[in-house]
With several copies, the nearest count.
Chain A
């Protein structure tokens, strides 16, 4: 149960306060205060071949209060720190937007010409979100663990029994509906799973269709969707079911570099959030399809094939440079894509009849093990 929340509210609070104290120590000794934060850029995202996940590298940036380029960010970091400390002390569950509003003050000062000017502690939520990520890296705590809420999109259904806040919930008994995955998956116990595998579909509408057809019942699986780029709740849920119940996870996306990348986010983590891969990466995820070679293997008619944009091609070239796309088969798939410049959507299988996807494509691919690991 490695990825379950194992830091209590008190632990978190102490950890955060400790950082404040360290800064104060510097100031007390009249040393310019600084924060060492690991750099969250692509260049400092490293591929860990042993664990097969993306991780943050060792490179740190020193955030100095008395450095003109860093001073504003330093101020924002300690401000955000104080906000999260306050929420933890009061037992609140703010959203990242709440934190933005909580911390937005106006600072008044006189400029070079003696003119009164106003500046906000942060202007846009982009600024405050960036700082939240910095604090995650700085503290080595995930935002969920710090009690921060966000908009969660994930849905799931299947023979899964969970327990949360004293309720026992059977996810195979949701009727035409489904279970909505919350942000704080750490607050859920997964009691039992009776399934052969987990199927994650990229698209919400496909999820609804398969759920209506009761695909998960017929094929004894857990059906999930993260609706495009998955949120952290969905990823963590998939990881936990897979690891706690030793199940393979199959991922079904559109056949284009953005679909491939969504798969890699589930499996390895994302570049922008590589610091949390250890707690979010679904290492047993496999790419079920739709692969570029599937377009030709399944002879998808030309009219359903979409010409790749220059942006798609650029994206594919980027993927080819990522260490986690270096397997022979991925290199072949991506090269094929770049050569053919063609992509398709999952729904293109409807050109063969409505049931082709659920009756033929998915079961056949799993049976023949025609997925990419």
Chain B
């Protein structure tokens, strides 16, 4: 144990789990309140990944209960996902930097860190192991484990392992752990998180039971977004290290041309040819013959060539306009919704898609500035809204151009899908202001806002016509009375005549307005 060392400047190495044990606030486990919230998130997100990525409509159950003493909280999360191969379970839950998500596609977890941090935090605060029951789809058995971590060696410790024959068709994973946490303080966050998760997964049944709360979200669609595929890197997205590795793991006998076509996103024969010509590179050269400086040159050329195709969306899984609408409707119950899913775009070679929803009226309260719901790869972002690029875009937009005058019942939903979401930190709570992303969010919101404007204009015009009749009608008796006094003519007669003229005028205008509506 190093803390007891009295030697000056003793050099030594640290295991990753040890590092994160010492710096757990990096991953959001800074205090019992935050840790409880973070644990729920990590478990729910794993469950969603285990279902959605495989086109299984998720059934997620989350049960939180308070133990004795009351700062011990038990968390159980169950899903109907693909399950975990039983031989992998100890490592998946007991080793930092071990997992299945280190590939180029959109998923909720990417750092392979969250669930281990939850295990680690539970272990150091309560000393209790994590309990897992899982079965894969084709497996004939159900595995049950109790696992702890050997933090200094970054290895799992299996406390117990049971395997029994599966009688039902059940597949999925149930995880239960007991951790230190403050339910009272974390409650609002957790509820908010689950509500927002339900918004972005209209096809999921979510059941949540806490010590003093129960939330049930039934799916309002069985349609699911297409799961993402694993992609190849885009030439703009690589660096020297990556290029060097790509060259190394390939058959070093292949030619430069074949290498480019085989290893990179969207590079066909034509593009490969054009690039090599433009870059004055010999496409027939074998990889093994490239010198270090030639590799550096290749990289520079690849990064400055303007002829590559944009990255494709294969590896992304946006919700799509229909599903996003469903999600918004089920949580916000608005009067009007418009959703926009943009085409794929990219920054630094990473493909991304922006989806936006605008929800108006209904149960949305009047607010001075739009309510914002942010999502990244279907993860709701709760903290740090102030520094998120989406907030900045929303605040920058001149809403009056779209006939929105605050206070107004307006909510904006922004969903960013990317193989690499440009977060502002490991907290995964705010998206950084990358120019390309900012532009796409802005375009998406503006596109949606144009539809909103059309809707509001229509509503407004219909109202204006009725309002005109009301306004003028109410003055008719007054005008008739005054004219009667001045001229001695009958008041009723004057009033009748005036009403007659008004009717005629309204008929004419109503026709004209009708034309405009059909534009």
Direct contact of A and B (CB under 8 A): yes
Instruction: Give the B-binding residues of A (Cβ under 8 A).
Output: 16-17, 19-21, 23-24, 27-28, 30-33, 65-66, 68, 71-72, 74-75, 78-79, 81-82, 85-86, 105, 107, 109-112, 119, 121
CB of A75 within 8 A of CB of B475, answer yes
- Interface stretch among B303-311, B438-446, B462-470? B462-470
Q: Are A109 and B486 in contact (CB under 8 A)?
A: no
> Can you name 15 extra interface pairs (CB under 8 A) apart from A27-B494, A66-B505?
A20-B483, A23-B483, A65-B475, A71-B475, A72-B475, A75-B478, A79-B482, A82-B481, A82-B483, A82-B486, A85-B486, A107-B475, A107-B477, A110-B470, A119-B474
- B483 contacts A24, C-beta separation under 8 Å: yes
Q: Nearest residue in A to B497 (C-beta to C-beta)?
A: A27
B472 touches A66 (CB 8 A): yes
Residues on A with beta carbons closer than 8 Å to the beta carbon of B485: 82, 85-86
Nearest chain B residue, comparing its CB with the CB of A30:
B501
Contacts of B494 in A (CB 8 A): 24, 27
Q: Does B100 contact A (CB under 8 A)?
A: no
CB within 8 Å for A30 and B486 given contacts A68-B472, A82-B481: no
The distance in angstroms between the C-alpha atoms of A28 and B483, with both chains bound, is 12
- B473 at the binding interface (Cβ < 8 Å): yes
In the bound complex, how far is the Cα of B483 from the Cα of A340, in angstroms?
A: 37
Rounded to whole angstroms, the CA-CA distance of A33 and B502 in the bound complex is 11
CA distance A66 to B503 in the complex (A): 11
Is B500's CB within 8 Å of the partner chain A?
yes
Question: Does B489 lie at the interface of the complex (its beta carbon under 8 Å from any beta carbon of A)?
Answer: yes
The dominant DSSP class at the B interface is helix
0/1 interface trace, chain B 494-519, chain A, CB 8 Å (1 if under):
10011011101100000000000000
Contacts of A79 in B (CB 8 A): 478-479, 482
Contacts of B471 in A (CB 8 A): 68, 71-72
- Is B487's CB within 8 Å of the partner chain A? yes
Contact, CB under 8 Å: B483 / A121: no
Whole-angstrom distance from the CB of B495 to the nearest CB of chain A? 10
Contact B505 A107 (CB under 8 A): no
Whether A78 touches B486, Cβ cut-off 8 Å, given contacts A66-B505, A112-B466, is yes
Contact present for A21 and B487 (CB under 8 Å) = yes
| Contact indicator B472/A20 (Cβ below 8 Å) | no
Chain A proximity of B166: nearest CB distance (Å): 61
Task: For the complex, give the distance between the alpha carbons of A110 and B497 in Å.
Answer: 22
Contact residues in B for A75 (Cβ distance below 8 Å): 475, 478-479, 482
Q: How large is the interface on B (under 10, 10 to 19, 20 to 34, 35 or more residues)?
A: 20 to 34
Q: Are B483 and A78 in contact (CB under 8 A)?
A: yes
Q: Which 3 A-B pairs have the closest CB atoms?
A: A20-B486, A82-B482, A109-B474
Q: How far, in whole Å, are A74 and B479 apart by their CA atoms in the complex? A: 8
Task: Return the contact of B501 from the options A66, A85, A105, A111 (Cβ within 8 A).
Answer: A66
Residues of B near A17 (CB, < 8 A) are: 486-487
Contact, CB under 8 Å: A109 / B473: yes
Given contacts A82-B486, A85-B486, contact A30 B500 (CB under 8 A): yes
Q: Closest B residue to A71 by CB, please name it.
A: B472
Residues A111 and B470 in contact, CB atoms below 8 Å apart: yes
A116 to B: closest C-beta gap in Å: 12
B487 with A24: CB separation less than 8 A: yes
* Contact call A32/B505, Cβ cutoff below 8 A: yes
CA distance A16 to B497 in the complex (A): 22
Chain A residue at minimal CB-CB distance from B477 = A107
Alpha-carbon separation in the docked complex, A79 to B485 (Å) = 9
Residues of A within 8 A of B473 (CB): 109
Chain B residues with CB under 8 Å of A119's CB are 474
B497-A65 in contact (CB<8A): no
B498 / chain A contacts, CB cutoff of 8 Å: 27, 33, 65
Q: Give 9 pairs: A residue, B residue, CB < 8 Å, sorted on A.
A: A16-B486, A20-B486, A20-B487, A24-B487, A33-B498, A79-B478, A85-B485, A86-B485, A119-B474
CB neighbours (8 Å) of B486 from chain A are 16-17, 19-21, 78, 81-82, 85
Distance, CA A74 to CA B502, complexed state (A): 15
> B478 contacts A107, CB within 8 Å?
yes
Shortest distance from the beta carbon of B317 to any chain A beta carbon, whole Å:
44
Contacts of B482 in A (CB 8 A): 75, 78-79, 81-82
Contacts of B505 in A (CB 8 A): 32, 66
C-alpha gap A263/B489 in the complex (Å)? 47
Minimum C-beta distance from B26 to chain A (A): 55
Chain A contacts for B463, CB-based, 8 A? 112
Give every chain B residue within 8 A of A72 (Cβ-Cβ): 471, 475
From B463, which residue of chain A is reached at the shortest CB distance?
A: A112
In the complex the two chains form, is A24's CB within 8 Å of B489's CB? yes
Enumerate chain B residues within 8 angstroms of A121, measured Cβ to Cβ.
478
Min C-beta distance of A248 to chain B, whole Å: 41
* Minimum CB–CB distance for B477 against chain A, Å: 8
- Asked if A32 and B481 make an inter-chain contact with CB atoms under 8 angstroms apart, the answer reads no
Question: A residues within 8 A CB of B467?
Answer: 112
CA distance A87 to B478 in the complex (A): 18
List of B residues within 8 angstroms of A19 by Cβ = 486
Q: Check A27/B474 contact, CB under 8 A, given A78-B483, A79-B482, A82-B486.
A: no
In the complex, the chain B residue whose C-beta lies closest to that of A78 is B482
* Chain A residue contacts of B489, Cβ below 8 A: 24
Closest B residue to A109 using CB positions:
B474
Among residues of B, the one whose C-beta sits closest to the C-beta of A22 is B487
Specify which chain A residues have a CB less than 8 angstroms from the CB of B478 in the assembled complex.
Answer: 75, 79, 105, 107, 121
Task: Write the nearest CB–CB distance from A31 to chain B, whole angstroms.
Answer: 8
Chain B nearest CB from A287 CB (Å) reads 37
Q: Is A32 a contact partner of B501 (Cβ separation < 8 A)?
A: yes
Chain A neighbourhood of B504, CB < 8 A: 30
- Closest beta carbon of chain B to A341's beta carbon, Å: 28
Task: Tell me, rounded to whole Å, the shortest Cβ–Cβ distance linking A85 to chain B.
Answer: 5
